[in-house]
Amino acid sequence: MKKILLLLMIPVLAGTGVHAQKFGGLAMTPPMGWNSWNHFGCNVDERLIMEVADAMVESGMKDAGYLYVNIDDCWHGERDSLGFIHPDPQRFPSGMKALADYIHSMGLKLGIYSDAGWKTCAGRPGSRGYEYQDAMQYAGWGIDYLKYDWCNTEGLNAEGAYLTMRDALYAAGRPVVFSICEWGNSDPWEWAADIGHLWRTTGDIYNCFDCVKDHGDWNSWGVLQILDMRDNGVLRRSAGPGHWNDPDMMEVGNGMSVSEDRAHFSLWCMLAAPLIAGNDIRSMSKETLAILTNRRAIAVNQDPLGIQGYKHASVDSLDVWVKPLSDGRFAVCFLNRGLNATEMEFVWKDNPFNDRLTGRAADFEKKIYRFENVWEDTHRGDTGAPLRATIPGHDVLMLILAEQR
């Protein structure tokens, strides 16, 4: 009898083993946090990460919703004789576990970076062949977020490589937000929703509103270039709670004008993009902080429906972006792509909103919506009359519309 039971149990146990999947219930709204790369590049150490965490709390960013403190490339030391990865002992002398404990004690979460190839983009050890071991190590340290890059992956298949790491993370047992970073090369929006919680849609961002930076064998891209690079109508089909398009980490506070930073942030909010700050938040200006913590803009980004906005119209240098929100509301963002100020008149009645993807619509002939201005506390109005405004160059006018009761 015992033998039979044992025999019966083996297939049952095998069937109830770790059923590989992505961690559910994470990133139900676009993840918010900070990442070291855009400002600090390879210049990372535990002191910086702790100071950034302190600043996240003291500046009010944590209260505004920023949660993840993410270390990008170059934290790595060597693998030991068993293959386990360790942080650079000079830069992280206390070790990753101690750093994670510090971050967690502040109510924040710690993110780390690796690469699906043999080496990271900056030449540090990649996870190729060590996926399960790295995932175990990260879980032991208490890591909450993994950005997984795509350098040095010659001959690998992206979907397969990301699936392997997803399964490794799941097997390691500690819930981790999994951030796919293969730059949109193999259309991750078509396959990544069950693999990661966000996926990069383009190459790297550059701290310029309307430029391309030539690095020789690769380019990085300004805000408008990223906005235009992919077919947003295709991308937005794949976005939603737990799975987001990622147009890259933000450059707010990294040298663009206040108008440009405001427009960049507004667009990322309209796109339901992850809001990962990329500036030195220990020493940011009042204007930068005000942009990063604008509660109305963040509410647009974090709306529970998780609908990615779309371009409603575009005339000359002016784009009109619309994002359906919960409770029948809409966010509208008028973007002046040009350098010169532009005067506009928007006749609501001639511009019904009709989002074919979600069926959400607003007919301004039938209903009047009242609005508040995201960036100007005192500007309120309604859609009963045309909207007239002057929008400075590289800036936005952003409104939240709610039905008049």
Catalytic residues: 149, 204
Q: Alpha-carbon distance 235 to 245, whole Å?
A: 7
Residue among 278 and 392 whose Cβ is closer to ligand GLA:
278
220 Cβ partners below 8 Å, 6+ apart? 203, 204, 205, 206, 212, 213
The binder of ligand GLA chosen from 55, 85, 181, 399 (CB under 6 A): 181
- Residue among 78, 84, 59 nearest 69 (CA): 59
Residue 310, amino acid: Y
CB 132 within 8 A of CB 172: yes
- Residue among 182, 157, 179 nearest 243 (CA): 179
The binder of ligand GLA chosen from 46, 131, 144, 204 (CB under 6 A): 204
CB 353 within 8 A of CB 329: no
CA triplet 232, 238, 242: central angle to 5 degrees? 125
Residue among 120 and 238 whose Cβ is closer to ligand GLA:
120
Binding of residue 37 to ligand GLA (CB under 6 A): yes
Interaction mask 70-99, ligand GLA, x per CB under 6 A: --xx--------------------------
Residue showing the smallest CB distance to ligand GLA in the complex:
121
DSSP string, 173-187: -S--EEEE-STTTT-
CB 74 → ligand GLA: shortest distance, Å? 7
Residue among 181 and 322 whose Cβ is closer to ligand GLA:
181
Q: Alpha-carbon distance 111 to 33, whole Å?
A: 9
Q: Which residues within the stretch 302-341 sit at the binding site for ligand GLA (CB under 6 A)?
A: none
- Residue among 250, 248, 253 nearest 280 (CA): 253
Residue 313, amino acid: A
Residue among 112 and 374 whose Cβ is closer to ligand GLA:
112
Binding of residue 395 to ligand GLA (CB under 6 A): no
Residue among 195 and 276 whose Cβ is closer to ligand GLA:
276
Interaction mask 108-147, ligand GLA, x per CB under 6 A: ------------xxx-------------------------
Binding of residue 355 to ligand GLA (CB under 6 A): no
Binding site for ligand GLA (CB under 6 A): 37, 72-73, 120-122, 149, 181, 204
